């Protein structure tokens, strides 16, 4: 990693970078472009546990199905669904927990301060927000930002699996405890899930766990660990491409 790139990331994450006294600061640089995605085998279609036709929906039909979904009851309290945003041919897929109040109003995942920090983390990796695909485990905001219920996650799971199948990401970054535990079907604490290369469901897609940007804003000392997680994700993607 270049020194300029390292300093970009550290600055975005609020980590002080030490420099020799009198040394000139490294000039700002534009993010390095993401490498072209290599040709890989397609991920096998997933099965809709509810027995529906979600596995056959294209992007427009899937978005419409999510927008009209009334399976779990959250349609009674949501402003709108939060489908996902980004590059539909992305190598990187970022998956969070559920929409918050800002996301519920704007219809887009990871907005506000947490979204800005996520953008900076991606930028430090040489990725613009538009180059990745960002989604949530849950497509509707739970009232009062409570944790998603298991029945709610089960109703939304076919939608997320279909998004993964359509995107064919090379790596998934699970941000936050609830996203990680639901994607990996475990109740293991996030600290024990970090630092490993997991696989998402039966797709074989590498999955890396890191802290949620909202948590990092509350606990800035943990940003160094998030840096380790992003390095692991980048190494994993690079190894797969090599």
Residue 99: inside a domain: yes
| 27 or 205, which is more confident | 205
Domain that holds residue 100: 54-241
Residue that wins the pLDDT comparison between 40 and 50: 50
Distance set, CA 223 to CA 61, 133, 211, 229, 237 (Å): 38, 22, 8, 10, 21
pLDDT at 52: 72
Residue whose C-alpha is closest to residue 69's, from 150, 149, 148, 159: 159
pLDDT at 36 > cutoff 50: no
Does a structural domain hold residue 42?
A: no
Which tens digit of pLDDT belongs to each residue from 106-140? 999 999 899 999 999 999 898 999 999 999 999 99
Q: Is residue 13 part of a domain?
A: no
- Flag whether pLDDT at 212 surpasses 50: yes
In a domain, residue 22? The reply is: no
Q: How many domains does the chain have?
A: 1
* DSSP H or E run through 225: helix 223-241
Is 213 part of any domain? yes
Count of CB atoms within 10 A of residue 199's CB?
12
Q: Is residue 180 part of a domain?
A: yes
Residue 72 sits in a domain whose CATH number is 3.40.470.10
């Amino acid at each position: 990693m270049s020194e300029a790139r390292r300093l970009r990331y550290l600055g975005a994450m609020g980590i002080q970078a030490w420099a020799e006294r009198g040394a000139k600061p490294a000039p700002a640089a534009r993010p390095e472009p993401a490498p072209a995605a290599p040709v890989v085998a397609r991920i096998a279609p997933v099965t809709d546990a509810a027995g529906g036709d979600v596995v056959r929906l294209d992007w427009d039909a899937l978005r419409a199905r999510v927008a009209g979904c009334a399976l779990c009851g959250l349609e009674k309290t949501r402003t709108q669904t939060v489908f996902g945003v980004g590059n539909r041919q992305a190598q990187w897929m970022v998956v969070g927990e559920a929409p918050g109040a800002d996301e519920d109003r704007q219809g887009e995942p990871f907005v506000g301060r947490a979204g800005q920090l996520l953008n900076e983390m991606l930028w430090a990796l040489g990725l613009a927000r538009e180059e990745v695909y960002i989604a949530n485990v849950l497509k509707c905001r739970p009232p009062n930002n409570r944790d998603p219920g298991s029945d709610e996650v089960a109703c939304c799971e076919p939608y997320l699996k279909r998004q993964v199948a359509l995107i064919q990401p090379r790596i998934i970054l699970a941000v936050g405890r609830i996203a990680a535990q639901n994607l990996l079907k475990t109740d293991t604490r996030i600290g024990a899930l970090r630092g490993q290369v997991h696989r998402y469901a039966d797709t074989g897609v590498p999955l890396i766990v890191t802290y949620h940007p909202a948590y990092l804003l509350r606990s800035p000392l943990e940003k160094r660990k998030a840096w380790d997680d992003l390095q692991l994700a980048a190494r994993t993607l690079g190894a797969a491409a090599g």
